[in-house]
Amino acid sequence: MTETRPLIEAHGITKDYWHESKGLVQVLRGVDFAMQAGEVVALVGKSGAGKSTLLHVLGTLDEPTTGTVCFEGEELVGADELRLADFRSSTVGFVFQSHYLLPEFSALENAMMPLLVRRVHRDEATEVARKILERVGLGHRLDHKPSELSGGEQQRVALARALAPRPRLLLADEPTGNLDAKTAAAIHELLVELNRELGISCLVVTHNEALARELPRCVEMRDGLVV
């Protein structure tokens, strides 16, 4: 392994959809993108530019029409479903604009979920989830259900859940889009701190110009292309 090999690297990514009235819609039109291990990158661009689609392709939630996605040199496009399921559950973590927490479970149980799915022993899962919840400032809310938490707290639980399996790469799609400015700033700060402490690489789609300015690298998408 050479030091210069990117953590994740996408080449020539296109994504077409067939639309009833518009015909063929080219959502991604040949995107090249690479990230080194340890980087935090902001992904910005107008609504409809293709940011979410690119994030989904990088995270293997969606297949590109053409192009390649390599993670540490391993080709993921066309890889078998078992391998991709493993990649999605242990190598990459997702945070979306909506938290998608399970309403009937506590913060602790929600954060443990990806570990239990991976058959980590319950005691160990509890310990890991408790620690990461404490780290995101929710040590005093472990037993609260999502409905008993504020929007910012819910998003912190979602972040803890994404981080519990210790992914190499966090893909965050407008994680603070539903939050007020102050809470959003606190979550952004947390992302940067977690990156520094845990070394988790992070690609974050954001409309927040203050955050995008703060980060060392900002990638802009326009009309299905990285510009």
> How far, in Å, CA of 192 to CA of 136, rounded?
12
- How far is it, in rounded angstroms, from Cα 46 to Cα 54? 14
Q: Binding of Mg ion at residue 52 (CB under 5 A)?
A: yes
For the CA atoms of 125, 126, 129, 132, the dihedral, rounded to the nearest 10 degrees, stands at: -120
Among the listed residues 17, 38, 104, 150, the single contact to ligand ADP using CB under 6 A: 17
Distances (CA, A) of 199 to 17, 163, 190, 194: 36, 11, 13, 7
**Cα 137 to Cα 116: distance, rounded to the nearest angstrom:** 22
Where does this chain touch Mg ion (CB under 5 A) — which range of 45-53, 63-71, 84-92, 155-163?
45-53
Residues from 20 through 79 that contact ligand ADP (CB under 6 A): 25, 27, 45, 47-53
Helix and strand numbers, DSSP H then E, in the chain = 7, 10
Closest separation in Å from C-beta 129 to ligand ADP: 30
3-class SS shares of the chain: helix, strand, coil, % to 5: 35, 25, 35
Nearest residue to Mg ion by CB is: 52
Nearest-approach distance from CB 206 to ligand ADP, in angstroms: 11
CA 176, CA 5: separation in Å to the nearest integer? 31
159 binding ligand ADP? (CB under 6 A): no
138 binds ligand ADP (CB under 6 A): no
- Measuring CA to CA, how many Å separate 106 from each of 45, 65, 93, 159? 35, 39, 20, 14
Closer of 144 and 207 to Mg ion (Cβ): 207
Give the binding range for Mg ion (CB under 5 A) out of 47-55, 79-87, 130-138, 157-165. Answer: 47-55
Q: How many residues touch ligand ADP (CB under 6 A)? A: 12
Comparing CB distances to ligand ADP, the nearer of 50 and 59 is 50
Question: x/- binding map, residues 22-41, to Mg ion, per CB under 5 A?
Answer: --------------------
Q: Which of 16, 35, 1, 14 is nearest to 201 (CA)?
A: 35
Contacts with ligand ADP, residue ranges (CB under 6 A):
17, 19, 25, 27, 45, 47-53
Contacts with Mg ion, residue ranges (CB under 5 A):
52
